Amino acid sequence: MRLLGKHVSARQVALFAAGLVFFGATTYDVHRSIKNNDQPPTREQMEALQQYIDSKKR
Domain map of the chain by residue range?
2-57
1-23 pLDDT, tens per residue?
A: 677 778 888 899 999 999 999 99
- CA-to-CA dists, residue 49 to 19, 36, 52, 55, angstroms: 38, 18, 5, 10
pTM for this prediction:
0.54
The whole-number pLDDT of residue 26 equals 95
Inform me whether the pLDDT recorded for 35 exceeds 90.
Answer: no
